Amino acid sequence: MQCGTIMRTVHARILIPPGIGDSYWVLTKLGAFIKREGLDKPELTILSYPCPLGSHLRSVPYLQLFDFFTLGDPVSVPNDPALQDIYDEAYLKGGRSIFPNVQGFDYFMAYNGRINSGGYIEEDDLRCDWYPPMNCDMGFNANGYIRQYGRYAVFFWPFYGTYESHVKDFPIEKIAESLNRFLDKTLLIPIFVGADWDIGLNAPVQDLMRLVPGAIDLIGKTSLVESFGLLRGAEMTTGYHAGLTNMAAVFGTKTCLLWDDRYPRSTAFACCPPRTRGTNYRPLFTKELTVDQYVNALMGLFMRREVQSE
């Protein structure tokens, strides 16, 4: 490099998928990508068809917790149907994860395809920072919830959309029996969480809560930061795999999630940091799952002492 040479950085506009988990996987790579490409603080925009209930913006409160990028204006743009082949590769296949020049943006980044096809996002030339720093005092919120509720478990059960196949394999009655047996053994307080739109979309969860004595309904009643604190203070998180529950595992909470068989089984492990796999995080698969197996998995994880945490 010649003396006096000025290193210039480039301002980039980057499209990302809409979910919290989807965003998390991008953010684990974004710092290394910024460094490799010589980018200034990039601008992130969510790529998603608009949802009348606002679920396409569900990751916005999460993205607002970081300082090494900004959010675009508008914060979300709809998919271009003409680019369906790119989206299929990004979300379903083990091909590219970074696409240049998509819909007038510099890049589209999505690691869903690699994970959903059985791969691991750490297996490329971009270093993963599995714990990008957030502007969020989860410890403070967690301590507040512990003072309020004592020893508790957090449950997340969205019985619609993707998860309809899960509940066919392992119905609500079996979920309730499993949770009650676990709660009877541990004496934890059951707390149910969810987003605002779950109140209207997720009527079956009300049936589940009626089957769980002492259930506390916080669905739609906590901000994302409050939900993160609630997860951090829990002694166990269980339910279906989703961005929210995946983050419980990232935070070091003991987390047991149910998956169906639409993806390779490695997908259930690749969604979380390597240090969580087999320590504080365990997946179960709904196909032919029994109540005994679920309860035993919950208790085995609950009793485990050697758990990594951040």
Domain annotation covers residue 39: yes
Q: 203 and 69: one domain?
A: no
Q: 45 and 86: one domain?
A: yes
The stretches in the chain having pLDDT less than 70 are: 1-9, 306-310
Domain annotation covers residue 126: no
Contacts of 148 (CB under 8 A, 6+ apart): none
Domain annotation covers residue 213: yes
- Dihedrals phi, psi of 248, to nearest 5 degrees: -60, -45
Indicate whether this model's pTM tops 0.95.
Answer: no
**Mind spelling out the 3-state secondary structure of 233-269?**
HCCEEEEECCHHHHHHHHCCCCEEEEECCCCCCCHHH
Residue finishing a domain among 53, 81, 116: 116
Domain containing 202: what range?
138-303
pLDDT digits (tens, 9 = 90+) for 28-83: 999 999 999 999 999 999 999 998 888 899 999 999 999 999 999 999 999 999 99
Q: 234 and 153: one domain?
A: yes
* Predicted pLDDT at 141: 84
What does DSSP assign to residue 57? Answer: G
Q: Are 193 and 219 in contact (CB under 8 A)?
A: yes
Q: Which helix (H) or strand (E) holds 16?
A: strand 13-16
Residue finishing a domain among 116, 150, 170: 116
* Predicted pLDDT at 306: 52
CATH of the domain at 241: 3.40.50.2000
* Predicted pLDDT at 4: 44
Tokens 């989206």, residue? 87
Angstrom distance (rounded) from CA 21 to CA 55: 14
Cross-sheet strand order for the sheet of 98-102: 70-77, 43-47, 13-16, 105-109, 98-102
Q: 237 and 172: one domain?
A: yes
